[in-house]
Structure 1
Amino acid sequence: MRASRLLSILLLLQNRGRMTADELAAELEVSVRTVYRDIDALSAAGVPVYADRGRTGGYQLVAGYRTRLTGLTEEEAQSLALSGLPGAAAELGLGTVLAAAQLKLHAALPAELRQRAGHVAARFFLDVPGWFRGIESLPNLAELARAVWQDTRVKVRYRRWDDSEVERVLEPLGLILKAGNWYVAARREGADRTYRVSRILELEELPGKFERPADFDLAEYWQRWSEQFERRMYPRVAVVLLSARGRGLVPFYLGAVGARALAGTSSEPDEDGWLRVELPVEPGAPALGELLRFGPELRVLEPADLRAEVAAAIAKMGESYG
């Protein structure tokens, strides 16, 4: 552990130049006293590190000194796939590993590329979760990720959408982060299925390994599953008229499914600017709520029962306001 920390101090000073003991302690999440001891250890090992005194002082390496001890460990190499998603790496238990890998990679770059990488990091930030979403509790995610890495079976207690609980033995094949939510693709009894990680209540790693199917492609599986999920979620079609403003609201209220339906419409707006569109909607009450969000910017034409439900809801709201 200490050897890894000493290397991190060395790479930090190489990458960033002068740093104070307080800055090093904050970066490494240790005490200032520990930093003092580590600097002494580096000096004793022959590393040319020296201290400048005063308010603008700090530790730095002798000009021109560069270490080549930048080899990545297996975990660090794996974590680089998540280099654009530091929050996701932390949830998977790879936060500190990713930081170490990035530090080593940065140290190995030529000066010009190091500067360019710094410019990019200062100007672009990827924030995956959507607005106004609470952070899911994911106590089993790191353990599940380990099972994915190592091809080990797990037994889980899982809460289904109807709030019933079941036990399942899974062969986890991959993890997917979708709009801030984690899902696991797993094989159960010969069939590939998807489970939401936040609904895993308990997880137990089972002994032994399973044989990962050679033909399984995680990206292809997720694409196929997502399309099937959308079809299950939106089994009905509502024929509606949308005003120009209503058409602008479709991506916000109905997401990618509504946006695709709008883009695929071949008809043209009428003389008053209303466009006839066939929109996929959820079954039952959710469809009513989705359509009412548009207010006067949408008119339902078909099916007749949905049109009647929308009209009744609007009439009831009118009565509520006198």
Structure 2
Amino acid sequence: MKIDRLLTILAILLRKEQVTAPELAEQLEVTRRTIGRDIDDLCKAGFPIVTRQGAGGGISIAEGYKLDKNLMTKEELQNILIALKGLESVDATSRLGRLVQKLTPASDAVVSLKDNIVIDLASHYKDSLSKKINLLRTAIEQRRIVTFAYYSDKGVTFRTIGPYFIVFKWSAWYVFGYCMARQDFRMFKLGRLWRLNLTEEKYSIGMIPPEKIDFDAHLRDDRDMVILFDESVEYLLVEEYGPASYTKTPDGKLLFQRGYTNLDFTLRWILSFGDKAEVLAPADLRETVGKIILKTAERYN
């Protein structure tokens, strides 16, 4: 949008003593002619912008025109910039980059992000993830229905939803919306969502029941499992659940007890430890794991 571009130009000029039209054009991804028109519009609006031609020339703010930058503390501004840079890792557009540029002080002595905190919310399929997120953002802003193919343990189904939120939780990205087929609110993992299509059909916003927006309720731990782990995988348990998630037995084994809901996910997780894990309870989970191991052994034999 033009107003966003004009504000970005002002922010750049307030941070730098002088900048050239080609530099602005490259940063804002527009032509030099567009920059020229934008500068004229800013001057007409009363902003004291000075343009100097020739070698060493450029565009600058007239001396004496300053912006009070003490609205936020150093720590507050740094936290905002860190969060924005994290979101920028999954944003395929340049809008977040421009916002970071507006807020970044001219001097690293004011706020430094070097060797501090880096948040990368992308994954190995960053390009497709960014496209999905940006399409869903458009759908949410414009209240437009989306359709997609969804891959799950039940096979491939085709869904139509009115999206409400894009959620990053449990180390993955999801879209939360009203599913037309189920006539209810659902969460869909973006990694399993493909052939996403933005339709022209609109949807109306309704009230979301409080229990539906409690995203943690989607992972209720309905049953308890007890597993005996080899001490060599202790670091993996600590990484995922913390050192308080298990107790050490006299022979050095790790006794792990935790609730679980999704059987398919739980089986994959247990089997990922190979012979370093033994399920003690419940009996049906132990039996299922044993059958999978025997079937796998038969295949390799």
Alpha-carbon separation, structure 2, partners of 1:277 and 1:12: 55
Residue in 2 aligned with 1:136? 128
Question: Does 1:263 pair with 2:244?
Answer: yes
The structure-2 alpha-carbon separation of the partners of 1:182 and 1:53, relative to structure 1 and needing over 3 Å to count, comes to farther
2:50 is aligned with what amino acid? Answer: V
Residue in 2 aligned with 1:248? 235
TM-score with structure 1 setting the length: 0.62
User: Is the CA contact 2:229–2:256 (under 8 Å) kept in the aligned structure 1?
Assistant: yes
**Aligned pairs for 1:84-233 within 5 A:** 85-87=86-88, 90=91, 95-96=94-95, 98-99=96-97, 101=99, 106=103, 116=110, 118-120=111-113, 123-130=116-123, 132-133=124-125, 135-136=127-128, 141-149=133-141, 152=143, 154=145, 156-161=147-152, 162-168=154-160, 170-178=161-169, 179-186=171-178, 188=180, 191-197=184-190, 198-199=193-194, 201-207=196-202, 210-213=204-207, 216=210, 220-225=213-218, 227-228=219-220
User: Is the CA contact 1:42–1:49 (under 8 Å) kept in the aligned structure 2?
Assistant: no
User: Is the CA contact 1:50–1:62 (under 8 Å) kept in the aligned structure 2?
Assistant: no
The structure-2 alpha-carbon separation of the partners of 1:149 and 1:221, relative to structure 1 and needing over 3 Å to count, comes to farther
Query: Which sections of structure 2, spanning at least 5 residues, go unmatched?
Result: 69-80
The structure-2 alpha-carbon separation of the partners of 1:89 and 1:49, relative to structure 1 and needing over 3 Å to count, comes to farther
Residue in 2 aligned with 1:237? 225
Alpha-carbon separation, structure 1, partners of 2:292 and 2:226: 12
TM-score with structure 2 setting the length: 0.65
Paired positions, count: 278
Alpha-carbon separation, structure 1, partners of 2:253 and 2:138: 54
Alpha-carbon separation, structure 2, partners of 1:223 and 1:182: 13
Query: Which sections of structure 1, spanning at least 5 residues, go unmatched?
Result: 69-79
- Superposition deviation, residue 49 in structure 1: 2.0
Percent sequence identity is 19
**Post-superposition CA distance 1:20-60 (Å, at most 9, x none):** 444322211124455456556656766242448657x6533
The structure-2 alpha-carbon separation of the partners of 1:224 and 1:247, relative to structure 1 and needing over 3 Å to count, comes to same
Residue in 2 aligned with 1:74? none
Alpha-carbon separation, structure 2, partners of 1:310 and 1:155: 38
Question: Does 1:277 pair with 2:237?
Answer: no
**Secondary structure, aligned partner of 1:119:** coil
